Chains A and B, each alone.
Chain A
Amino acid sequence: MSEEREQLHERYLESRLREELGPPTDLSDAVLRRIYSQPRRVIPPPRRTPWWRPLAAAASVLLLAGLAVWAIVSFWSGPKGRPLHEVRDRTVAEPTTPSQPRPAPKPAPKPDHTPTPEKQSPTPSPKPAPKGDGTGTQLPTPDKGQPGKDLPPGYTDPPGAFPDPEQPPPVIPGAEPKREDVETPQPAKPEPGPTEAVKTAVVAREFKASRKDGLRVTRAGAFEKRKAEPGFEILSGDRLQVSGWVDVTLTDGTLLRLDGEVTLTEKDAQLGVELHDGAFYADTARLNISAGELAMQLAGIAVVEERLRELDLHLIEGKATSGEHELFASLRSRLGKEGFNRSRSTTWADVSGEYKFLRDVPVRRLLREDLADAPGELWGGEIKDGVLTGPGEKDRGVAFYLREKYTTQQGASVRVRFRIQTTCDLVIQLGADENYRCLQKAVRGGEWHEIEIPLGEFFRTLQKSGDLPVGTDIRRFQIHGEDGDPQLIEIDWVEFNRRPG
């Protein structure tokens, strides 16, 4: 057979060996993600055309039509028509009337005729009216282009300088104070009560941005945005703006991944997120979430997006509560004033495919043992230079008790950095009321390994069919040799993490 054919045959065999001996490959997730992922969010909802504009336009048209009719009637009515110059004195929009240049044939006055155009003239009043309307004030419309509302030069988008959308001062057409609202620094945050009270509470110290300078913070009452750098403390009331995405770990361990604009708060020892725009992911034991008049409480994992003054909620795990309404895991819903509605099922695959900022899965660290000192009682091995070291004898190896018990959760995994001296099979075992283990085949000796094992892969040591149930209290971590002697085992650190899905 030709050399070409021989080469193909060789490659076929090698391909088969990879299939047979290598880890299984599943492309379905990646393909689904590529098909369903569309770059979304990031762009805020389009600015709405103020609702009064069509009305104002219609009123203008009616006015013009009325004037035209009146002019024609005046023209044809001959001596009964009023002198044109008198009419012009009383109306403002008159110059555009086609009949205007026509001289009135007779100046004979007819007073009862004049009110007709004047009655029409009040119709434009709806035009400015919406600005003072309760509905109109909900919209953040500082840049409508009204001359009186233009920012003075030198003011460049200080978010704190604008009143929150919920409580802008009523706008009255023609009234001047609007300009003062924009220019005066102190009314920037017109909710001094709660903000002042909790101003100094630190809500987060740990954050990671996907881009350099990806997090900018506007402190309550201040104008300038600060770049958040390592060591920066986020205080209650701080407004966070994000470029790319940012992971923020709150002081109670809650993990947030932000893709939008939020204010973090702490009130009565309860942490909260006020969502102004965009979306965020949360993995939390308890978190208050609000947006405008809407509020809910989350315990679990969810993605929340602000959309047209309502909140889209994708609840992956746990429960969300809004007043008397409740929403449970694996459902997506929209929170409006009437509670949750349009609920339908969802999965983490759906959500991560829908939101670009979740393609890199957020991981929440739940517990970490650095082994700088003995966390609890050692059960095999000793700690030297931050590493737990001991002989790798079968059924014992090295082990330690955790500083505090870890209760297993859905989606959790254990991550460990370790080294053994001689290549062999290893058992990683978690001790609870019973032992649960996971076998690692042919672990290479002489090099550091960092592996992550989902807790779902652990099985009961004495009964292989028994999985590690959610809610088990783990107290001990152990590594020992199984097939062969690793000679020496060293553990650098161990951590328990959780990711959605």
Chain B
Amino acid sequence: MRSAAEIESLVKRHQESLLRYLRFLGAEEALAQDLAQDTFVAAIHAEFSDIEPKSTSAYLRTTARNFYFMWLRKHKREVALPGDDVLESAWHEEEGGDFGEGYQRALQNCLGQLTDRARLALKMRYGDNASREQISFATGLDPEGAKTLIRRAKEKLKECITRQVGKQDTYDL
């Protein structure tokens, strides 16, 4: 068994990426956190070798994916997901070769280019889990207007990030 310090270090190194991956698969925030914990506990009990970050990350992703599929089966949830190979290639495409650091920098830059109101709406939606009514109250828009504001903000972010990370604009409508 690893020491507490080793476990803490392992969790801290991989938790963000693992949570991101579970959300990427479609897990809600609370479920993603539960499954990520299950994944770490299972991996630590399995005494896997943490040789280098890439293989550890792949190992944790596979375990997390299995836990997520088990959860879906147990709760009889139907979620349309592509095959494992498509998922993996889509994930690598987003993350790039630097564990998503380039994407993160681009996102931070692009958020700075949005209007204050759009940023507030995104912050309330994704940072505080605020309802559409709360967002509309805070932004002074009606609920539909708030929804549109968020959608447009995200589109702008996508375009901006694509430009910054140099990705092909293959997914735009």
Contact = CB atoms under 8 A, between A and B. Distances in A.
Interface of A: 1, 4-6, 8-23, 25-28, 30-32, 34-36, 349-350, 423, 442, 444-446
Contacts of A36: 4
B101 to A, nearest CB: 12
A474 to B, nearest CB: 29
A25 B103 contact: no
B127 A444 contact: no
A30 B157 CA distance: 33
Interface in B39-60: 40-41, 44-45
- Chain B, interface size category, equals 35 or more
A442 B8 contact: no
A30 B37 contact: yes
A423 B7 CA distance: 41
B41 A423 contact: no
Given A423-B138, A444-B134, A31 B41 contact: yes
B7 A32 contact: yes
Interface in B148-173: 154, 157-158, 161, 170-171, 173
Contacts of A35: 1, 7, 41, 44-45
Interface in B1-16: 1, 4, 7-8, 11-12, 15-16
Contact of B11 (A13, A20, A31): A31
A22 B24 contact: no
A269 B84 CA distance: 70
B70 interface: no
Nearest to A424: B138
A445 B171 CA distance: 39
B8 A28 contact: yes
Contact of B104 (A16, A27, A32, A444): A16
Contact of A4 (B86, B104, B138): B86
B82 interface: yes
Nearest to B134: A444
A9 B90 contact: yes
A23 to B, nearest CB: 7
Given A8-B90, A9-B90, A25 B24 contact: no
B109 to A, nearest CB: 11
Contacts, number: 125
B80 A4 contact: yes
B41 A13 contact: no
A8 B171 CA distance: 10
B7 A1 contact: no
B19 A25 contact: yes
Nearest to A29: B8
Contact of B24 (A5, A11, A442, A446): A11
Contact of B20 (A8, A15, A27): A15
Contacts of A31: 7, 11, 37, 40-41, 44
Q: Which 9 A-B pairs have the closest CB atoms?
A: A21-B127, A15-B23, A17-B126, A28-B11, A1-B171, A22-B127, A28-B8, A12-B94, A8-B90
Contacts of A28: 7-8, 11-12, 15
A23 B23 contact: no
A97 to B, nearest CB: 57
Contacts of B107: 16-17, 20
B11 A11 contact: no
Contacts of A16: 20, 100, 103-104, 107
A112 B20 CA distance: 94
B126 A22 contact: yes
B120 interface: yes
Interface string B125-145: 111101000100110000000
B137 A446 contact: yes
B108 interface: yes
A34 B26 contact: no
Contacts of B123: 21, 442
A167 to B, nearest CB: 43
Interface string B89-125: 0100010000010011001100100000000101111
A362 to B, nearest CB: 22
A454 B127 CA distance: 21
Contacts of A19: 16, 19-20, 104
Given A35-B44, A423-B137, A444 B24 contact: no
Contacts of B137: 423, 444-446
